[in-house]
Amino acid sequence: MVWFRDDLRVTDHPALDAACRRGAVVALCVLDEESEGVRPLGAAAKWWLDGSLRSLRESLRELGIPLVLRRGPAGTVLPEVLERTGAGGITWNRRYGGPELAVDAGVKQWCAEHGVEAHSFQAALLHEPWTLRTGAGGPYKVFTPFWKALRALEIRQPLPVPGPGRGAAAEVAAAAGTEDQVDWDLVPSPERAAGLAAVWTPGEAAAWERLDDFLDRVEDYAEGHDRPDRDGTSRLSPHLRWGEISPFAVWDAAVRHRSEQGSSPGLEKFLAELGWREFNWHLLHQVPDLHVRHVRPAFDAFPWRDAAEAAGDVRAWQEGRTGFPLVDAGMRQLRATGWMHNRVRMVAGSLLTKNLLVDWRVGEQWFWETLVDAEPASGPGNWQWVAGSGADASPFFRIFNPLTQGRKFDPEARYIRRWIPELAGDEGVDPHEPGLLGPSVGYPEPVVDLPASRGRALDAYASIR
């Protein structure tokens, strides 16, 4: 049995490869939202999971392998399915969050006690947290030396797709008691689903297409990845989050591109972004409750605004009605597509945590609910970076000015005009100056005064220094 989790692919899948070398295979995916500490998926992530599972089912069918779906706590479901199918072994690719590691350890212990072979494999990270250590033997807390150390290590080649004809007999799969995916209720409202489907195609084939397309223009990434008005990013994040393509495959494709086309600042910047993803996963291994606990304990005393007092501003931020066009364009892009440009994520996060003094965990929870690429490492890791409470964090006094950022990274306001219809009609109006628009445009006034709120934020930070 191969236990699929956040690795919904057949290429470079070490657990699948190992199982296929041993005999007949059944694939199992468990929707576990009940095990202690496991965080239930947000709505956008559930939509992606639904499409990704459908793609995986087709890929496995081509190999002759049935996919069994079960819902419930994995520590209960796995033993039941193993007993019902009579499987003599189980393989999976390792996870690194605290609750997930605990679940996996429990399953492995049950297998040891009941004579079932259990083997786990490295598949989601280029190097695992316990293998990359500082000279003093501890984990890295600063990205630059982490990245230098990672680059110095060998990275394995990706594995091919296993040969076909490895599937278990139909009656064996039937014994597992598979569930109907429709009953999992993963798809949101038709309107919301249509908006996501207009932008995204989940699945392994789509991941490879996106990677190939991106590498054709990777030379522009160094500059283009900061421009929300351009198609300058890879948009691989949801595919990597769901393991539809492995980091080894992405790394290998990028390195082969470099050997064929030569190096470029864009390619090197892209590899560094893969490194930042790794850094956040290593951080999560150190801080299993990263989405609720400050990496820097001093922030436990930070004077965030009272939730009731800030409720109106939070709602305006969520709905893209803050009066700051770049932020509002990003928040509306998020609501419509389940994704937001990374530069705009930083600016929106800075406005919320610093100008509005709202606890970063409020923003992280909203992103968890609305992003198709929401995952437990990069999400909270990046939120803590913006808030100043994380590892290798942006200094708290670095407060992004959303108007300046808009002029710099969306100079012709194409991104703003696309996502804010109120600002799209009058070419004579400057969307970068909300204070000059006037009420007739129908766009809200800024929710906060930028200079005054900056001073308030710096005073709040001074109180915990």
| Both structure tokens of 243 | 């393991």
Give the right CATH number for 2-124 from 3.40.50.2300, 3.40.50.261, 3.40.50.620, 3.40.225.10: 3.40.50.620
Distance CA 344, CA 201 (A): 23
The pLDDT score that the predictor gives to residue 170 is 83
Spell out the domain ranges in the chain: 2-124, 126-158+203-286, 297-463
Q: Is 166 annotated as a binding residue?
A: no
As given in the structure block, the two tokens for residue 262 are 């030569």
Tell me the whole-structure pTM to 2 decimals: 0.96
As a whole number of angstroms, the distance between CA 229 and CA 293 comes to 34
* Residue 234 marked ligand-binding: yes
Residue 11 annotated as binding site: no
Amino acid identity, position 178: T
Architecture of domain 126-158+203-286: Alpha Horseshoe (1.25)
> How far apart (Å, rounded) are the C-alpha atoms in residues 16 and 163?
11
What's the pLDDT at 465? 86
Annotated binding-site residue? 235: yes
How does pLDDT run across 80-129, given as a tens digit for each residue?
Answer: 999 999 999 999 999 999 999 999 999 999 999 999 999 999 999 999 99
pLDDT in tens, 330-384: 999 999 999 999 999 999 999 999 999 999 999 999 999 999 999 999 999 999 9
Q: Kindly state the DSSP code that residue 194 receives in the 8-state scheme.
A: H
221 is in an annotated binding site: yes
Tens of pLDDT, residue by residue over 24-79, are 999 999 999 999 999 999 999 999 999 999 999 999 999 999 999 999 999 999 99
Note the pLDDT tens digit of each residue in 187-231.
999 999 999 999 999 999 999 999 999 999 999 999 999 999 999
User: In this predicted structure, what is the pLDDT of residue 234?
Assistant: 97
Report pLDDT for 81. Answer: 97
Shortest CA distance to 416 belongs to which of 439, 398, 436, 443?
Answer: 443
- Is 270 labelled a binding residue? yes
Confirm whether residue 299 is marked as ligand binding.
no
Identity of residue 183? D
3-state secondary structure of 92: strand
Half-sphere exposure of 397 (CA within 13 A, CB side): 5
Q: Domain 297-463, what fold?
A: DNA Cyclobutane Dipyrimidine Photolyase, subunit A; domain 3 (1.10.579)
Helices (H), 320-449: 325-337, 342-350, 360-370, 378-387, 402-409, 414-419
